[in-house]
Amino acid sequence: MSTADAAQWPLWEVFVRARRGLAHVHAGSLHAPDEVMALRNARDLYTRRGEGISLWVVPATQITASSPDERDPFFDPAADKTYRHPTFFALPEGVEHL
């Protein structure tokens, strides 16, 4: 049997929560036959030094991503709305806590 057998294992994206109070952050990916092995492998691969207290594994095929080619038009609606930032508004001299 060649290495091609492992290739049939799906790809999983791994997210690690480093400690309480932090969000899960993408750490990398791995191949595994199912979600149980994916979690075990993720533990061995991404948390050998106490890097996490919680893991998510997500089948890579289940992730829908925005396209980099359409990045500019896609995010364009936010580009010209500088008034969404508080710094857009000039404050009169002496006004605080605003």
Partner 1 sequence: MAQLADNDIPAPEPPGHDALVQEIEAAQRGAAQRPGRPEAAPPAPPAPHDEEELQARFDAVIAADQKIEPRDWMPDAYRATLLRQLAQHANSEIVGMQPEANWISRAPTLKRKAILLAKVQDEAGHGLYLYAAAETLGVDRSQFLDDLDAGRQKYLSFINYPTLTWADTGALAWLTDGAAIVNQVPLCRSSYGPYARAMVRVCKEESFHHRQGFDALWALTHGTDAQRAMAQDAIDRWWYPALAMFGPPTRDSVHTEASMRWRIKRFTNDELRQRFVDICVPQAEALGVRLPDPDLRWNEERGHYDFTEPDYDELRRVIKGDGPAGRQRVAHRRRAHQAGAWVREASAAHAAKRRARAAADTAETGADIGVDIGVDTEESAA
> Which residues lie near partner 1 (CB under 8 A)?
1-9, 11, 17, 23-24, 28-31, 33-37, 39, 44-45, 48-49, 53-56, 65, 67-72, 79
- Is residue 80 a contact partner of residue 88, using CB atoms and an 8 Å limit? no
Considering the complex, state which of residue 63 and residue 98 has its C-beta at the smaller distance from partner 1.
63
Considering the complex, state which of residue 65 and residue 98 has its C-beta at the smaller distance from partner 1.
65
* Neighbour-count burial of 42, counting CB atoms closer than 10 A to its CB (0-12 exposed, 13-18 middle, 19+ buried): buried
Closest by CA to 33, choosing from 59, 54, 56, is 59
Closest distance to partner 1 from the beta carbon of 83 (Å): 15
